[in-house]
């Protein structure tokens, strides 16, 4: 799913901070045991998420789409004292695995797992001051999630959406499949939204970084 040249990506991997031991284990187990293991954020993107979080020093983070917990742990590394990360996973069969993965790290007590459909879980939240929201769930609902959480993000807060270059298909005019068109529409809708500042980083499969004004 990496967009960048393989040699360049390897160079970047070798010149960022090393992958923490707990995350190495989660990375390895995900690729051994899970279908669609490429959904894992991985070493380099994980360090990007961790760095952004540490720069923000957030008190409150929301993640939509937990998978095996890798990105949640990376984001939680930057939480301010007393901060909490809420992560939503629709697949109840992952709950035991996720709790086990969180305990591998020193941020497990800062992570609150919610099992259920994201839209329903978000509707029950009373929070309206998230510092960071990371959207990495069912791709065709990306813009719906963006609309649901925009008013729940504080001014100056970040919304990060994963996979927005969609294996390079979004900028290939010959690609017309439904998922690719969905990402094109998402990127175009965000690009013209005057409530936010935005840019796409060519990290792995594309990270859309959105700052609420």
pLDDT of residue 118: 97
Give 175-182 contacts, CB < 8 A, sequence gap 24+: 178/140, 179/139, 179/140, 182/139, 182/140, 182/142
Q: How far apart are CA 87 and CA 118, in angstroms?
A: 9
pLDDT of residue 3: 81
* Average pLDDT in the chain: 95
- Average pLDDT rounded to a whole number, residues 110-119: 97
- Average pLDDT rounded to a whole number, residues 191-213: 97
pLDDT tens digits along 52-106: 999 999 999 999 999 999 999 999 999 999 999 999 999 999 999 999 999 999 8
Packing angle between helix 178-191 and helix 142-150, nearest 10 degrees? 30
Sign of the torsion formed by the C-alpha atoms of 76, 78, 83 and 88 = negative
Residue 26, CA atoms < 13 Å, CB-side half-sphere: 29
| pLDDT tops 70 at residue 108 | yes
Sign of the torsion formed by the C-alpha atoms of 202, 152, 76 and 96 = negative
| pLDDT tops 70 at residue 115 | yes
pLDDT of residue 1: 64
Confidence of residue 4 (pLDDT cuts 50, 70, 90): confident
Fold observed for domain 6-212: Rossmann fold (3.40.50)
User: What DSSP line would sit under 52-79, residue for residue?
Assistant: HHHHH--SEEEEE--TTSHHHHHHHTTP
Cβ atoms within 10 Å of 4's Cβ, excluding its own: 14
Q: What are the extents of the domains in the chain? A: 6-212
Q: 3-state class of 4 per DSSP?
A: coil
Q: 3-state class of 131 per DSSP?
A: strand
pLDDT tens digits along 17-45: 999 999 999 999 999 999 888 889 999 99
pTM, whole model, 2 decimals? Answer: 0.96
């Amino acid at each position: 799913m990496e967009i960048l040249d393989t040699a360049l990506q390897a160079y970047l991997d070798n010149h960022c901070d090393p992958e923490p031991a707990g995350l190495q284990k989660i990375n390895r187990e995900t690729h051994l045991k899970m279908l669609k293991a490429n959904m894992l954020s991985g070493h380099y993107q994980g360090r990007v998420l961790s760095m952004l979080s540490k720069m923000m020093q957030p008190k409150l983070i929301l993640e939509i789409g937990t998978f095996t917990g890798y990105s949640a742990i990376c984001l939680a590394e930057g939480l301010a004292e007393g901060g909490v990360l809420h992560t939503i996973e629709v697949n109840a069969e992952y709950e035991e695995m996720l709790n086990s993965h969180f305990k591998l790290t020193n941020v497990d007590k800062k992570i609150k797992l919610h099992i259920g459909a994201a839209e329903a879980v978000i509707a029950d939240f009373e929070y309206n001051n998230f510092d960071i929201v990371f959207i990495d769930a069912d791709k065709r609902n990306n813009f719906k999630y963006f609309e649901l959480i925009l008013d729940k993000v504080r001014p100056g807060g970040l919304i990060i959406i994963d996979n927005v270059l969609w294996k390079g298909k979004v900028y290939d005019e010959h690609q017309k499949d439904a998922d690719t068109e969905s990402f094109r529409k998402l990127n175009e809708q965000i690009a013209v939204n005057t409530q936010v500042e935005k840019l796409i980083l060519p990290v792995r499969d594309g990270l859309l970084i959105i700052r609420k004004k």
